[in-house]
Amino acid sequence: MKTLMDEYNVQCATKVKNYEDDPVGGYRKVYTDGVLFEAAWEFQSAPEITVAEQQGTKRTYRIYVHPTLDLEYHDVIERKDNGQIYRVTTPGTDRKTPGFSAIGKRLIEVEQWELPTEAEETNNVQSSGSA
């Protein structure tokens, strides 16, 4: 049964971290699409959040996903309609609507995030000496 919340769903994908060879004999980290899913998005706009954003905190959202989708802390996802990248800030395993609810969703909080660039990855590997 489709709910009103389903009308607000946007296609998303988990981003999977992989490594591939680079042209100079090393490797680089790349992110590819993993599981495709739909999520209804809610922008967090409480006054406290607005003040925190003005002080440098990243913009946060609540997303509502199918109750069987398990996203873990710091999993990376992409919103497909605008290409924006987000990182999970609360695991979705503990916030699920009751079984008798017609909504049937799981609540997960995310923050805007950026995938590391190749230069950042190279610098991190050189400075740490490992992956």
Residue-range domain boundaries for the chain: 15-81+103-128
Which helix (H) or strand (E) element contains residue 124?
Answer: helix 118-128
Contact 113, 86 (CB under 8 A): yes
**Spatial distance between the Cα atoms of 82 and 63, rounded to a whole number of angstroms:** 15
pLDDT of residue 46: 63
CB atoms within 10 A of CB 105: 21
pTM of the model: 0.74
pLDDT tens digits for range 57-108? 677 888 999 888 889 999 999 999 999 999 999 876 667 666 766 677 888 9
